[in-house]
Amino acid sequence: MKKTYSELIRIPTFEERYQYLRLCGKVAEETFGFKRWLNQEFYHSDEWMRFRNKIIIRDNGCDLALEGFEIFGSIIIHHI
């Protein structure tokens, strides 16, 4: 199932948005094969950091882009 930001922001509650994004994976489950270093390299690039900052601004620093769920600590950007 392809998930999109435009669908996510139409979902009214935090719990429903969480369920929409939930992957139901397991810790240490193989998701990238043995090439996980490829995505880790990207997530430390200047390109990702610029993109990340745009996302934080777009979502007003709110968790799952939902007003009332402001993030005051470290912000983790979902890759949707």
Beta bridge partners of 62: 70
pTM of the model: 0.69
CB 2, CB 15: distance < 8 Å: no
Query: What is the sign of the dihedral through the CA atoms of 27, 65, 51 and 73?
Result: negative
Give, for all 80 residues of the chain, the pLDDT tens digit. Answer: 788 999 999 999 999 999 998 887 665 566 555 666 677 788 889 999 999 999 999 999 999 999 999 999 989 887 66
